Structure 1
Amino acid sequence: MRAVLIIIGIILLGAGAWVVFGHGSYQTTDTLVQIGSAKVTATHDKAVPEWIGVAGIIIGAVIAIGGFLKKG
């Protein structure tokens, strides 16, 4: 259990740092026009909000520290 907490904490730390440094993004697709079976779509890249990265760093640090300090 201790090793699992440490690994999850480190993964969250890394993912949070990735988002904070501006590399986290996702794509959304919007349908602009649809006539019958034909449609025109647009795909947009959107950045993941920075607060999610900060939260990932904080939660990951707490979980990893908890794993390091846990006895067993």
Structure 2
Amino acid sequence: MTREEFETTLREVKPGQFADIPYETFADLFPPGVESDASKEAAYHFAKARGFVIENRPDRNAVWFVREA
């Protein structure tokens, strides 16, 4: 998945809902992955610019992009 493809997915998310991506996909979009502070910062800015917040969900091995209500 590219960032452009992910942006297409995000456009369909309604306020209060989320799109989740597995850690592996997160690492593809924001290398090297969730272990990296730089990756988390890049994802934060990407999400914020599009009206989302991010939640790291280690219980699901995923990151949620939650559209702000």
Q: What TM-score do you get using the length of structure 1 for normalisation? A: 0.28
Give the number of the structure whose alpha-carbon radius of gyration is greater.
1
Higher relative strand content: 1
TM-score using structure 2 length: 0.29
